[in-house]
Amino acid sequence: MKYLLILMLTILFLSCEKDPYPSGSFTGDDGRLRDTRRNPDQDINNPGSPDLPLDLEFFEGKLSKHTFRFIAPAGKEPVLWLEDLPRGVEYDGSTMTLSWQPDFRAGNDKNDPTIKVVTYFITVKWKLADEPNTEAREATIPLKVFDTPRNFEVRSLDSQWVDEGETLEYEFTIHNEDFPNGPFKVATEGMPANARVREHPTDPRKRTIIFKPDYHHVKINDNPNPCSSSSDNDCLKYEAKIIVSNPANHETTKDVTIKVNDIRRPLAILTPDTMQQGLDISFSISVVDPNGEVAPSIALSSKRPDKGEFEEKLTRDEENNLSVLNVSWKDIPPVFNGKTVRFDFQSCVLNDYGRMSQCSKADFSVEIKVKDRKAPFFERRDWAQGEIKYLRHKERKSYTVYAMDGDQTYQSVDNVVVKPESMQKFVSFRNSRLEVSFDKPGIHQFSLVATSDYNLSSAESFVVEVFPETRSKTIYFTDSVRDNEARFFTSEMTNVELMNPVLQPLNNRNLSGRDNLILGTSILKDPTLIEDIKKAMSMIKNVVVATPLIESMPEEFIRLLTDEYRISILGRYSEIGDAPDLKDMYFVVRSDFRTPNENIKLKLSATDQSHDPLIFSIPVDRKDCQDVMDFTNRGVTQTPTQYKIGLICNRKNSGRFAILGTEFADLKTSEADKAIPGQWLRQMLNVRLSQSEER
């Protein structure tokens, strides 16, 4: 018994020597809990443990509470307090309850507004009350605050109307409590093709949609969306949207109805003054529909001569809404010598109800003089009879037109005047050169009247349409106004017009007066539009092709690229063997291009083709082409690689091909370099080929 008692005392003594709560760090299974180091002489008791969540979630503007649960030793009172609290957090120590209603900036990062969740870290500390030697333990808990978009709307009238020929200024204001002053990105959907959005000079919340429909806008005979009923064809309705996004990429839309009222323009028949001709008479009458709907009817309304050979021939150009009536009267009996014969004409176009009954009348007189001479005639080398020429505002064009003597072959007539006299301000004729330049938009008609030395006269009429000064010089083919490519071009290029070849006719009128045609991924996905692309390329000087789908371009373009320019297409990036990781590649440009502050890479997400750009090979014997943009990983990896991705080629029409193997909208830039993709595009259209290629 004595020995047993000694053994028990020895065990008790040894157990008291071992510290039940060793000093140093303690980490729980979740890696969160840790205690502070203590004084070795302190007496430590078990402080219990709180039930801590992995994290706490809050939403901007919403009050949320969390009460901590604590398991303490029997008869002990726990103390729990919080440190490092974000602004606005309240804590009630008596109930161990945390309360917070985050403000509407708590879930946003001021350096990156697109971040939708912001995490804050608080420190939880606890110990037992009434025991001063109890060591405080602590843990860190993340508080996640989720962004809650506040009121974001576009305020404006729901509907607006405008007459053809007038200008609509549709104002709207953007209200957003999260970002009162933006900056905002604005796009539209379903708007007329030539509508544009103008920013307010001082108020970043305000925008104005500017839209001026011409007199061809509403077509009585072809109205796809009448304003009120199927018979209401004199009003065209657009059901559009205004789409606004703020810096956090929150988006709001506004439905807008724009109505365009048709204005019937009076029909003008241009006839020259009384002319003197012999016993063979010939003249022509040209009429153009000012409403752009039909080729007008033209007919003789006076009595038809019953002597000699009288013939009327009407030529109608439905595409350009122009008609020409050629009249000839041969073998006129001598009894008409010395008489003046008057011809009356009537021309008609569509009225408000779609009937060919909006008519105008005109007359033309010929003085018949029997002379052993023939009247002059015109040879319209550059301007065919019945052709409309389209001009930009104040654009000066020169055409070759010969006024020839009817008797002396190859002898020109010097006495040629422009009629009416009011047109002489805009039209001149000298040495067989017809020069025109107008500062007033609209349709203009004039005649050249040639009079020979024997006082015999002939006249030819000409028709010009002059576009308004605001007409866009750049068109972008697309089937969607909301895709990333369309948004890029409308924001980075001045006054670009989006055109859908499926919905808009690609006639001479729509394609004339343009300098730049832009083709991207969206339009090349539709193989049925190849002929439209070819027609537009033949009429427009500069062509931008920026897409990985360049191999879907018309075959004629591919042959031109490979055979004449001697440029090879290596293929899509994924087809190149041992190509580096695409995420490591960045752009390098020619020395005369704008140099970015930071490397510009690819987003790989602008379209469903952006993940796989197209790469070229540009040999030394290439012709009229030059490499201006490369793709490299130089300085990123130990084995640098460089590929050709952007080039420029001169066209025979003095224009330019600007070719990029990806979309400009897919270039990934820093905030400081966000303007560079648009600058590079403009430089590709304007720089000379003679500059150095080396980079």
**pLDDT tens-digit map of 367-423:** 988 877 788 999 999 999 889 999 999 999 999 999 998 888 788 999 999 999 999
pLDDT computed for residue 91 by the predictor: 93
Strand 159-163 and strand 251-261: pairing?
A: parallel
393: CB partners within 8 A, 6+ apart: 438, 439, 441, 466, 467, 468, 469, 471
665 domain-assigned:
yes
Domain endpoint, select from 447, 468, 489 = 468
Give how many domains the chain has, as a whole number: 5
The answer on pLDDT for 4 being more than 80 is: no
Instruction: Give me 286's structure tokens.
Output: 């040209």
63 domain-assigned:
yes
The answer on pLDDT for 231 being more than 90 is: no
Domain endpoint, select from 92, 126, 146 = 146
Query: What distance in Å separates the CA atoms of residue 99 and residue 86, rounded to the nearest whole number?
Result: 11
pLDDT computed for residue 47 by the predictor: 61
Q: What is the pLDDT of residues 628-668, one digit of tens each?
A: 999 999 888 778 899 999 999 999 888 999 999 999 999 99
Q: What is the pLDDT of residues 159-171, one digit of tens each?
A: 999 999 999 999 9
Which SS3 state, helix, strand or coil, does residue 93 take?
coil
* Single-letter amino acid, residue 441: P
Residues 431 and 541 in one domain: no
Task: Kindly report the backbone phi and psi dihedral angles of residue 453, in degrees, each rounded to the nearest multiple of 5, phi listed first.
Answer: -65, -15
Residues 187 and 169 in one domain: yes
693 domain-assigned:
no
Residues 72 and 184 in one domain: no
- Please state, rounded to an integer, the average pLDDT across all residues of the chain: 86
Residues 407 and 427 in one domain: yes
Query: What distance in Å separates the CA atoms of residue 663 and residue 177, rounded to the nearest whole number?
Result: 34
Residues 416 and 515 in one domain: no
545 domain-assigned:
yes
Q: For the domain that residue 503 is a member of, what is the CATH number? A: 3.40.50
pLDDT computed for residue 9 by the predictor: 47
Q: Cβ of 157: how many Cβ atoms within 10 Å? A: 10
Query: What distance in Å separates the CA atoms of residue 322 and residue 586, rounded to the nearest whole number?
Result: 54
Q: For the domain that residue 463 is a member of, what is the CATH number? A: 2.60.40.10
Residues 309 and 293 in one domain: yes
Residues 554 and 626 in one domain: yes
Q: Which of 339, 338, 360, 358 is nearest to 350 (CA)?
A: 358
Q: What is the pLDDT of residues 398-410, one digit of tens each?
A: 999 999 988 887 8
556 domain-assigned:
yes
pLDDT computed for residue 312 by the predictor: 92
Query: Is the N-terminal amide bond of 420 cis, ω within 30° of 0?
Result: yes
Q: How many CA atoms lie within 13 A of 245 on its CB side?
A: 11
Q: What is the DSSP string of 641-683?
A: -EEEEEEEEE-TTS-EEEEESS-GGGEE--GGGTTHHHHHHHH
Contact 267, 296 (CB under 8 A): yes
pLDDT computed for residue 230 by the predictor: 60
The answer on pLDDT for 693 being more than 80 is: no
Query: Hey, CA dihedral for 180, 186, 190, 195, is it positive or negative?
Result: positive
Domain that holds residue 452: 371-468
pLDDT computed for residue 135 by the predictor: 74
Q: Which of 532, 514, 550, 523 is nearest to 647 (CA)?
A: 550
Q: For the domain that residue 303 is a member of, what is the CATH number? A: 2.60.40
Q: What is the pLDDT of residues 63-97, one digit of tens each?
A: 999 999 888 777 778 888 999 999 999 999 889 99
pLDDT band at 14 (very low <50, low <70, confident <90, very high): very low
The answer on pLDDT for 108 being more than 50 is: yes
Q: What is the pLDDT of residues 581-627, one digit of tens each?
A: 999 999 999 888 999 999 999 999 999 999 999 999 988 778 889 99
Mean pLDDT over 184-206 rounds to 88
Q: Which of 603, 594, 610, 687 is nearest to 647 (CA)?
A: 687
Find residue 516's DSSP bridge partners.
474, 542
Residues 139 and 163 in one domain: no
Mean pLDDT over 510-521 rounds to 93
Which SS3 state, helix, strand or coil, does residue 529 take?
helix
pLDDT band at 288 (very low <50, low <70, confident <90, very high): very high
Residue whose structure tokens are 């052709």: 387
Residues 191 and 282 in one domain: no
Q: DSSP label at 527?
A: G
Residues 501 and 619 in one domain: yes
pLDDT computed for residue 476 by the predictor: 92
Provide the terminal-to-terminal Cα distance of the chain, rounded to the nearest Å: 98
**Low-confidence winner among 58-67, 492-501, 666-675 (lowest mean pLDDT):** 492-501
**Low-confidence winner among 40-54, 234-248, 283-297, 477-491 (lowest mean pLDDT):** 40-54
Q: Which of 649, 646, 641, 636 is nearest to 593 (CA)?
A: 646
Mean pLDDT over 514-520 rounds to 94
Domain endpoint, select from 420, 437, 468 = 468
692 domain-assigned:
no
Find residue 458's DSSP bridge partners.
450
- Per the model's pLDDT, the better-predicted residue between 184 and 694 turns out to be 184
Residues 422 and 512 in one domain: no
Q: Could you give the percent of the chain with pLDDT greater than 90?
A: 53
Of these ranges, 25-34, 268-277, 381-390, the one predicted with the greatest mean pLDDT is: 381-390
Which pTM was predicted? 0.72
The answer on pLDDT for 37 being more than 70 is: no
pLDDT computed for residue 261 by the predictor: 93
Instruction: Give me 452's structure tokens.
Output: 């020979």
Query: What distance in Å separates the CA atoms of residue 364 and residue 385, rounded to the nearest whole number?
Result: 19
SS (H, E, C) 331-376: CCCHHHCCCEEEEEEEEEECCCCCCCCEEEEEEEEEEECCCCCCCC
pLDDT computed for residue 570 by the predictor: 92
The answer on pLDDT for 26 being more than 70 is: no
Residues 141 and 175 in one domain: no
Q: How many residues are listed for the chain in this entry?
A: 695
Q: How far is CA 119 from CA 22, 108, 354, in A?
A: 34, 10, 67
Mean pLDDT over 28-35 rounds to 36
The answer on pLDDT for 538 being more than 90 is: yes
Alpha helices in 416-513 (DSSP H): 484-492, 508-511
392 domain-assigned:
yes
Query: What distance in Å separates the CA atoms of residue 593 and residue 680, rounded to the nearest whole number?
Result: 7
Instruction: Give me 543's structure tokens.
Output: 């062509």
420 domain-assigned:
yes
Strand 297-300 and strand 397-400: pairing?
A: unpaired
Q: What is the DSSP string of 560-623?
A: IIIIIS--EEEEEGGGSTTPPPGGG-EEEE-TTSPPPSS--EE-S-SSTTTTS-EEEE--TT--
Q: DSSP label at 523?
A: H
Instruction: Give me 440's structure tokens.
Output: 């007033």
